[in-house]
Structure 1
Amino acid sequence: MDSPWDEEAGPHAIRDSEWSRISNEFTTAGYREGITAGKEAALQEGFDAGFATVGVPIGREIGILRGVISALLSYVSLHGENLPGGESTLIEVRSIASQLSNIRFADIAPRDLEAEEHAREHLEMVDEDAETENEELVQKRAMEGLEDMLASLGSGPDPHFPAQQRKPTMEDVGTLKERTLSLCALMKLDVHWS
C-alpha cells in the first residue's frame, strides 16, 4: 500500500511524506507572498511616478494660483476704488476666483488609461455575470453630478471663460493664470511664480 501509515513504509517514508507536504505549503506561501510583494512594489512605483509627474505639479500650480487670486481678492476688496480699472478689476478677480473654485483635480489631470483598464479587468474578474459597478465609483460619479448641478445654478456663463459649459482643462488653468498675471501687472504687483 501507498499509505504513509502502512507498516511496510517505515519511518523514512513518513518523514519524506511530511517533508514533501511542508515543502509544498512553504512553496505555495512563498509564491503568494512573492506575488503580493511584487504587486505592492509595482503599485508603490506607480504611485511615486504619478505623484511626482502629475499630482504634485498640477496641485502646486492650482494651489499657487488659488493663493494668489485669494490674496488679490482681499486686496481689491479693500482698495477697489483706488485701483487701476476700479470696479472692472474687482469683477475680473471675482470671476477668476469663481472659476478656480469649480476646478477639480479629476477634471484637469490626464487620464490614467492603465489604471482604468486594470479597474475594468478587476471588475470583470470579481463578477463576470453581473454588470455591477464599484460602489466607490458610483458614489464618486454621484458627487460629481451634484457638483456639476450646483455649478450650473450660478449666474450664467462668464464670457471670458466658455469652459463653464464643459469640464475645465489644463489649458483653462493656463488661461486663468495669464489673466491673474495680467491683473498683477495692471496693479503693479510683482508676483513670482516658482
Structure 2
Amino acid sequence: MDDEDIWQENPQFVRDAEWDKLSSGFTNAGYREGITAGKESALQAGFDEGFAQVGAPIGRQLGILRGIASALLSFLQASPATPEKAVIVDEVRAIVSQLGSIRFPDIAPPDLEAVRHAREHLGDRRLEEADEAEMPVPEEVQEKRSIESLEDMLAQMGGGAAETAKRPTMDDVSKLQARLLAICTQLGLSLQWS
C-alpha cells in the first residue's frame, strides 16, 4: 500500500490532520497576537506613566523658565538703558543661554526600571552589580550622544570656552530658577507658578 492509498482509504485521517494543522495555526496566531497586545498595552501604560510623572512636569517647568527668561530679556531690552540695567540684561541673557542649552536627557531622572529590565535580560551578574555608567548603551543612544558631544564641542569653540563642558543637571535648573526669581524680585516683578 502506498501513501496515496492511505489518504484515500482514511478520509477521517485527512480531516483530523487538517483540523490539527488549522487548530495549531490559530493557536499560534492567537498566542502571537496576545503577546503583541500585551506588549502594546504595557508599552502604552509605561509611556502614559512616564509622560505624566516625568516628561510633562519637567518639560513644563523648563518651558515656563525659558518663557519667563525670554520675556524678561525682551522687556529689559525694550526699556531705556542704564548701566545698572546693562548688568541685569547680561545676567538674564546668560540665563536664557543656559536654559537654551539644557536637553531633556540632561535633567530627566534615569529610568531605573528600564535599567533593571536590561540587566535581567542580559543575564550577566556583573551588570546587576555595575553602575549605570557601565550599562551597555543601545546603538541609537550612542549615536545621539555622539552628536550631542559634537554639538558641545562646537559650542565651546564658538564661545571660546577652554574647559570641558559639563552637562547641566536638575540642580542647575533649580539654581537658574532661583537666579531668575531674584532678578524679578529686584525689578519689583512678582512671579508665581507651581
The TM-score normalised by the length of structure 2 is 0.80
Q: CA deviation at 1:189?
A: 1.2
Correspondences of 1:29-178 after superposition (within 5 Å): 29-79=29-79, 81=81, 85-116=84-115, 134-153=138-157, 154-156=159-161, 165-178=165-178
Mapped to 1, the partners of 2:9 and 2:117 lie a distance apart of 51
Q: CA deviation at 1:116?
A: 4.3
Identical aligned pairs, as a percentage?
53
* Alignment partner, residue 21 of structure 1: 21
Mapped to 1, the partners of 2:34 and 2:26 lie a distance apart of 12
| Unmatched runs of 5 consecutive residues or more in structure 2 | 124-135
Moved more, 109-118 or 11-20: 109-118
More helix by share: 2
Moved more, 109-118 or 166-175: 109-118
Amino acid at match of 2:17: S
Task: Name the Cα RMSD after superposition.
Answer: 3.0
Query: Are the equivalent residues in 1 in contact too, given 2:77–2:89 (CA < 8 A)?
Result: yes
Q: CA deviation at 1:86?
A: 1.9
| Unmatched runs of 5 consecutive residues or more in structure 1 | 125-131, 158-163
Query: Are the equivalent residues in 1 in contact too, given 2:152–2:165 (CA < 8 A)?
Result: no
- From the superposition, tell whether residues 35 and 82 of structure 1 become closer, same or farther in structure 2 (CA, over 3 Å): same
Query: Are the equivalent residues in 1 in contact too, given 2:69–2:96 (CA < 8 A)?
Result: yes
* Alignment partner, residue 160 of structure 1: none
After the TM superposition, which parts of structure 1 deviate over 6 Å for at least 4 consecutive aligned residues? Answer: 120-124
Moved more, 47-56 or 133-142: 133-142
Amino acid at match of 1:101: G
The count of aligned residue pairs is 180
The TM-score normalised by the length of structure 1 is 0.80
Query: Are the equivalent residues in 2 in contact too, given 1:123–1:134 (CA < 8 A)?
Result: no
